[in-house]
Amino acid sequence: MRILMLRHGQTPSNVRGLLDTGAPGPGLTPLGQRQAEAVPQVLQDREVDAVVVSSLLRTSLTAAPLLHQRGMEKLIIPGLAEIEAGDLEMADDEPSQRTYIETAFAWSGGELHRSMPGGPDGRAFFSRFDQAIADIAASGWRSAVVVSHGAAIRTWSRSRVEGVDVDALTRHHFANTGALEMEGDPSTGWRLLDWTSDPIGGAELASEIAEDPTGEPA
C-alpha cells in the first residue's frame, strides 16, 4: 500500500506559535486555505482510493478541496491527531516549545518512558498512531492520502519508516502541507518513497513569519 502523509494547512495558532493540540482546534488562515487548494492539482495524476483525516478540524479543512475534486467522502481516524501538549497546551514561549518537540523526538529515539508534561508518554503516542496506520492498511485500499500533523508525522516516521533521514527531520522545518510518501504495510514495514519539507504545492506557499512550534526543528 502507498500512503501520502500530508501535514495540514497553516492555522492561526501556527502563526502565533501556540502549542494548540486540543479538539476541535483552529481552522485555517488564508494562506492555509491556499495551501489546501493547491493539493488537488499536485495530486491530479495520482491514484487516491481514500482520504483519511484526524479528528481535528484543520485536517478536514485541508482535505476538503481534494475531496471536492474527487467526489469523495473523508474518513476520520482520531488516532492520527497531533501529539497532546498536556500542561504545555496553548503555551507560546520558547522553553515550552523546545520541551514539546524534544520530548516527541526523544520518543522516536527510543525513550518511550518520557512523558510530555501533564500528557502522554511515547508508548501511548505510538500505540494510537500505529493502530491508526494499521487500520488504514487493513482497509484493502491501494493508495490513501492521510492528513495529519507536524509533530506526529515526524515523530512516527522517524521510528517507523525505513529510509527516513532522521537528522534532516530534526534539523529542518516541516512546513504546513509538507508531505511524506511511503509504501509497505505494518507486517513487513514501511519504506520511504518521497519527502518534501516545503508545502506540496510549492515553496512559494511557505510562510516566512509563522512561529509554528510543531513544525520547527529540534
User: What pLDDT digit, counting tens, does each position of 56-100 carry?
Assistant: 999 999 999 999 999 999 999 999 999 999 999 999 999 999 999
| Inside any domain, residue 215 | no
| Inside any domain, residue 188 | yes
Domain count, the chain: 1
**Which CATH number does the domain housing residue 145 bear?**
3.40.50.1240
**Residue written as cell 503516542?**
125
> Mind listing the pLDDT tens digit of every residue in the chain (218 residues)?
999 999 999 999 999 999 999 999 999 999 999 999 999 999 999 999 999 999 999 999 999 999 999 999 999 999 999 999 999 999 999 999 999 999 999 999 999 999 999 999 999 999 999 999 999 999 999 999 999 999 999 999 999 999 988 777 677 789 999 999 999 999 999 999 999 999 999 989 988 766 788 877 76
What rounded mean pLDDT belongs to the chain?
Answer: 95
| Inside any domain, residue 217 | no
| Inside any domain, residue 216 | no
Give yes or no: 82 in active site. Answer: yes
| Inside any domain, residue 212 | no
Bridge partners (DSSP) of residue 147 are: 6, 53
Comparing CA positions, the residue from 33, 34, 32, 45 lying closest to residue 4 is: 45
User: In 10 A of CB 188, how many CB atoms?
Assistant: 7
| Inside any domain, residue 36 | yes
Name the active-site residue from 8, 37, 84, 216. 8
**How far, in Å, CA of 119 to CA of 95, rounded?**
16
Give yes or no: 149 in active site. Answer: no
Name the active-site residue from 82, 89, 181, 216. 82
| Inside any domain, residue 199 | yes
Domain that residue 154 falls in: 2-207
Comparing CA positions, the residue from 42, 90, 48, 93 lying closest to residue 199 is: 42
**How far, in Å, CA of 159 to CA of 139, rounded?**
23
